[in-house]
Amino acid sequence: MQDQPFRVIVIGAGPAGLYLARALGAAKIDYVVLERASSAFLERGNHLLIFPHTVRLLHQIGLYDEAKKRSYKLSGKIDMTKSGYVLSDYSMWHLLQERHGYPTLPIQRYDVLEMLYKSIPSREQRIKTGAKAISIKETDQGVEVELEDGTTETGSVVIGADGVHGITKKYIEEAVSKTATESTDTRWLDIPTTSQYCSIYAEGTNTKKIPSGIFYETRDTGRAIQLGADNDMLRVIMYKRLPQQMSGSVSYTAEQMEEFAEALFDMAVAPGVTLGEIWPDFHKHTARLVNQNEGFTKHWHTGRVVITGDASVCTSSVNGLGVNCGLHSAVALANQLQKAVSSLAGNPSTESLREAFARYQHIRGGELQAIYNQAYSSMRQLTWDSWKDWFIDRFLRRWIGSDFLVRKYLNPLICKGQILSYVPFEDVPAPLPWRRTPEASANEDKKSEPLVVGQAQ
Ligand SMILES: Cc1cc2nc3c(=O)[nH]c(=O)nc-3n(C[C@H](O)[C@H](O)[C@H](O)COP(=O)(O)OP(=O)(O)OC[C@H]3O[C@@H](n4cnc5c(N)ncnc54)[C@H](O)[C@@H]3O)c2cc1C
């Protein structure tokens, strides 16, 4: 297989897998994406917050205008108690855009997937749907992935973007447990994935005319609600502490979802409006009750197999950073892979791939540990898990002030966003500088344009 052209097999066509497809294509690396579902974009109802550094990643691959079209404008954030008493009212999203140039875009998961999918050249050949990977084999020469339908895919590297319960991280855990040297590595968190909270996500019609562009967050003991609205639509995520910690993949019935929602009917979703008053306005066929997963995988790679996105680190959705983290990890991985492949005349050896993957984990691991810890605490503070959490959320956070917290944590996190180092482009101008910019700048690209046109690439 060393004699074959370098080929990547991506397992999973979620946001991380599809962004990787674009990134690998831009690096001129051959790839295929395997997705077990019958389509890369099926489910409606789940909303994601795409923060400015991730909007910048969409801009880099030409999807900024498309993302704005599929989104609506956010301006402020209102924190409330269950009675609708306003604890703080802060023009958070407006200030983020002022500082970073890009807006924060609330957008359907469906739209993110469709937009990415439709931007992939030769997508019908590159993205194989109904293709469930069931096992991975790795040698010093390459990899082989067996599919449920009995076929196999061969390549040089497997990237597992197969989510929180995927097979790739299980493969890596087993492979690494056989090598004593790697299993003694204590640099990274090692937290098995479990669920202590469950959530309903849903969208509905804004019949009560809740003001557009505000992100409302209501807190109470063991439960919480986040709601966003534009003139026509409502998007909600509700949280409830589970009676006991759970692990593995769990599905709930429509009756269980109704029961969960009823337990939150008395809570305000916006000043003067309770969940009970608007629950009939939600589209129940797309609403889901799901467990919130939290976990940090210690081992991200072997020599030829590596994980990214939720497969490596998953946080609850409370800070809205999961998909953002996944895309930035995918970009860091693509950068390392592109360097490893482009710096050699032939295919990189297993050892040089292992080094590239280790660099990727080194770049992302530390940052994600901080984000994981922050999201873990935020979930518990929002649901007043202990008297300390209640005190922090109810009083300390208010005394410190939202602007201080955003400047201390969110602005630096956004400034450190990844960027595809080999894809030149021009940022939207912003007062806060980006720590990472493409190595080949847009100006250099413009200068070399006539040469590139004249050459067979
Ligand atoms: C209620 C809720 C709200 C959220 N809100 C936000 C938010 O506001 N902002 C945010 O950033 N994040 C949010 N998240 C988190 C976000 O959805 C995840 O972080 C993100 O989807 C992870 O992307 P991924 O590509 O790593 O994995 P996934 O989205 O899980 O995709 C994995 C893909 O792999 C496929 N797959 C799995 N196994 C196989 C196999 N064996 N063979 C082939 N294909 C396979 C799956 O079918 C799937 O398509 C939220 C999550 C939830 C549950």
Q: Which atom of ligand 1 is least distant from the CA of 147?
A: 42
Which residue out of 10, 32, 36 has the highest number of ligand 1 atoms within 8 Å of its CB and is therefore the one to mutate? 36
How far apart are the C-alpha atoms of 48 and 99, rounded to whole Å?
21
Check whether 443 has a pLDDT greater than 70: no
Residue 226 known to be catalytic: yes
User: For residue 453, what pLDDT is reported?
Assistant: 26
- Give whole-number Cα distances, 158 to 39, 305, 335, in Å: 21, 5, 16
pLDDT in tens, 407-439: 999 999 999 999 999 999 899 999 999 999 997
Please check the confidence at residue 50 and state whether its pLDDT lies above 90. yes
Of ligand 1's listed atoms, the one at least distance from the Cα of 166 is 38
Q: Is the pLDDT of residue 444 over 80?
A: no
Strands 76-81 and 86-90, bridge-based pairing: antiparallel
Instruction: Tell me the CA–centroid distance for residue 451 and ligand 1, in Å.
Output: 41
Ligand 1, atom nearest to 167 Cα: 41
Q: Which of 52-56, 240-244, 302-306, 342-346 has the lowest mean pLDDT?
A: 342-346
User: 35 CB contacts (<8 Å, ≥6 apart)?
Assistant: 12, 13, 17, 127, 128, 129, 130, 131
- Pocket-testing residue among 22, 149, 225, 310, ligand 1, by greatest number of atoms within 8 A of Cβ: 310
Name the strands in the sheet holding 143-147, side by side, starting at the edge strand that comes first in the sequence: 133-138, 143-147, 152-155
Q: Per-residue pLDDT tens for 127-183? A: 999 999 999 999 999 999 999 999 999 999 999 999 999 999 999 999 998 876 655
Could you tell me the domains of the chain? Answer: 7-67+109-192+294-415 (3.50.50.60), 193-293 (3.30.9.30)
CA 172 to mean position of chain CA atoms = 21
Kindly give the number of the ligand 1 atom that is closest to the alpha carbon of 325: 11
Cα 314 to Cα 331: distance, rounded to the nearest angstrom: 17
The per-residue pLDDT for 182 is: 53
What pLDDT shows up at residue 41? 77
Distance CA 198, CA 136 (A): 31
* Ligand 1 centroid from CA 157, angstroms: 21
What is the predicted pLDDT for the residue at 187? 80
Arithmetic mean of pLDDT, 74-82: 96
Ligand 1 midpoint to CA 252 (Å): 18
pLDDT at 179: 79
SS (H, E, C) the chain: CCCCCCEEEEECCCHHHHHHHHHHHHCCCEEEEECCCCCCCCCCCCEEEECHHHHHHHHHCCCHHHHHHCCCCCCEEEEEECCCCEEEEECHHHHHHHHHCCCCEEEEHHHHHHHHHHCCCCHHHHEECCCCEEEEEECCCCEEEEECCCCEEEECEEEECCCCCCHHHHHHHHHHHCCHHHHCCCCCCCEEEEEEEEEEEEEEECCCCCCCCEEEEEEECCEEEEEEECCCEEEEEEEEEEEEEECCCCCCCHHHHHHHHHCCCCCEEECCEEHHHHHHHECCCCCEEEEEEEEECCCCECCCEEECHHHCEECCHHHCCHHHHHHHHHHHHHHHHHHHHHCCCCCCCHHHHHHHHHHHHHHHHHHHHHHHHHHHHHHHHHCCCCHHHHHHHHHHHHHHCHHHHHHHHHHHHHHCCCCCCCCCCCCCCCCCCCCCCCCCCHHHHHHHHHHHHHCCC
pLDDT digits (tens, 9 = 90+) for 402-411: 999 999 999 9
- Lowest-confidence range among 32-41, 183-192, 198-207, 316-325? 183-192
**How remote is the C-alpha of 277 from its chain's centroid?**
32
Rounded Cα–Cα distance for residues 120 and 25 (Å): 8
Find the catalytic residue in 226, 292, 338, 361: 226
What is the spatial distance between Cα 334 and Cα 58, in angstroms, rounded to a whole number?
Answer: 15
Ligand 1, atom 27: nearest CA belongs to which residue?
A: 163
Whole-number Å distance between alpha carbons of 101 and 431: 8
Q: Indicate the average pLDDT of the chain.
A: 92
pLDDT for the residue 183: 53
Segment 333-338 shows an average pLDDT of 97
Identify the residue whose C-alpha is closest to ligand 1 atom 31.
Answer: 14
Ligand 1 atom with the shortest distance to the CA of 15: 25
Long-range contacts of 231-234 (CB under 8 A, 24+ apart): 231/206, 232/205, 232/206, 233/203, 233/204, 233/205, 233/206, 234/203, 234/204, 234/205, 234/206, 234/210, 234/278, 234/281, 234/282
Pocket-forming residues, ligand 1, beta carbon under 6 Å: 11-17, 34-37, 46, 48-49, 132-133, 161-163, 166-167, 199, 201, 237, 290, 309-310, 317, 320-324, 326
CA dist., res. 218 & res. 204, Å (int): 18
pLDDT, position 53 = 98
**Assigned token pair, 308:** 């990214």
- Residues in the chain, how many? 457
Output the CA 314–ligand 1 centroid distance in Å. Answer: 9
75, 93 in Cβ contact below 8 A? yes
The tens digit of pLDDT for each residue in 237-287 reads 999 999 999 998 899 999 999 999 999 999 999 999 999 999 999 999 999
Taking the CA atoms of residue 53, residue 122, residue 342 and residue 116 in that order, the dihedral angle to the nearest 10 degrees is 10
Kindly give the distance from the C-alpha atom of residue 15 to the centroid of ligand 1, in angstroms, as a whole number. Answer: 7
Task: Report the nearest-CA residue for atom 35 of ligand 1.
Answer: 12
pLDDT value, residue 449: 34
Rounded to the nearest 10 degrees, how much is the dihedral formed by the CA atoms of 139, 23, 57, 213? -90
d(CA 171, CA 178): 11
pLDDT at 70: 96
Is the model's pLDDT at 454 over the cut of 60?
no
CA of 326 to the centre of ligand 1 (A): 9
| Lookup: tokens for 300 | 């991200």
Residue-level pLDDT at 383: 98
Report the nearest atom of ligand 1 relative to the CA of 321: 11
Q: How far is the CA of 444 from the centre of ligand 1 (A)?
A: 36
- In this structure, the residue with its CA closest to atom 50 of ligand 1 is 317
Structure tokens at 425: 């482009």
Q: How confident is the model at residue 392 (pLDDT cuts 50, 70, 90)?
A: very high
- Quickly tell me which residue has 């090598």 as its tokens: 179
Interatomic CA distance for residues 391 and 407, integer angstroms:
22
Query: Is 60 exceeded by the pLDDT of residue 89?
Result: yes
Tokens of 350: 């297993």
CB atoms within 10 A of CB 288: 16
Residue 313 has pLDDT above 70, yes or no: yes
